[in-house]
Amino acid sequence: MIISIKEVRNFIISILIPLIVGYLSNVLSRLLSGISTSTYYSQLIKPSFAPPSFIFPIVWTILYVLMGISAYKILKKGYDLSKVKDAMFYYWLQLALNFVWSILFFGLDLRFTALVNIVLLIIVVSIMMYKFSKIDKKAMYLNIGYLIWLFYASFLNYFIWMINR
């Protein structure tokens, strides 16, 4: 099997998009709050199940890469197909919600609003995964860890909001 330069380029772009979105969200959050997200996180009162701050960039990098690979697999089926356009709508929507979460939580100190955002994000990711499963099951499976992490992050968001009110 020969892979074209165009396919390699599309694969790399598909991975870079969520990585850049996550990075830009972090940068904007830092600019709005005046401190790094890891410093902000370290200053919060956290529940016992909260991980140390160094875990987040590792987990998010892995999840963004898997997210990008899953989008690539869907786009490979042909963007002209209505089911691909429909599935990708939910992909872009969840990416936008993902981008906004850090800004709400860290940048604007709106932890309850961030909680509402993450609940919406879970719903949209679930819909996206369902849509992906109708096109390419492997693309859907690549997002299972993301969904599990979002559930964990939503509980963490809830308890941090409650403890730090």
pLDDT value for 79: 87
The per-residue pLDDT for 2 is 79
pLDDT digits (tens, 9 = 90+) for 47-94: 999 999 999 999 999 999 999 999 999 999 998 999 999 999 999 999
Residue 27: pLDDT band (50, 70, 90) is: very high
Any alpha helices (H) in 34-110, and if so which ranges?
37-43, 55-75, 82-102
C-alpha to C-alpha distance for 16 and 68, rounded to whole angstroms: 7
Percent of the chain with pLDDT over 90: 96
Q: Which domains does the chain have, with CATH numbers?
A: 5-42+51-163 (1.20.1260.100)
Average pLDDT, the chain: 97
Predicted TM-score (pTM) of the model is 0.95
Torsion of CA 39, 43, 47, 49, to 10 degrees: 20
Averaged pLDDT, 103-113: 97
Q: What integer pLDDT is reported at residue 9 of this predicted model?
A: 96
Question: Average pLDDT for residues 147-159, to the nearest whole number?
Answer: 98
Tens of pLDDT, residues 112-132: 999 999 999 999 999 999 999
Which residues neighbour 111 within 8 Å (Cβ) at sequence distance 6 or greater?
A: 104, 105, 157, 160, 161, 164
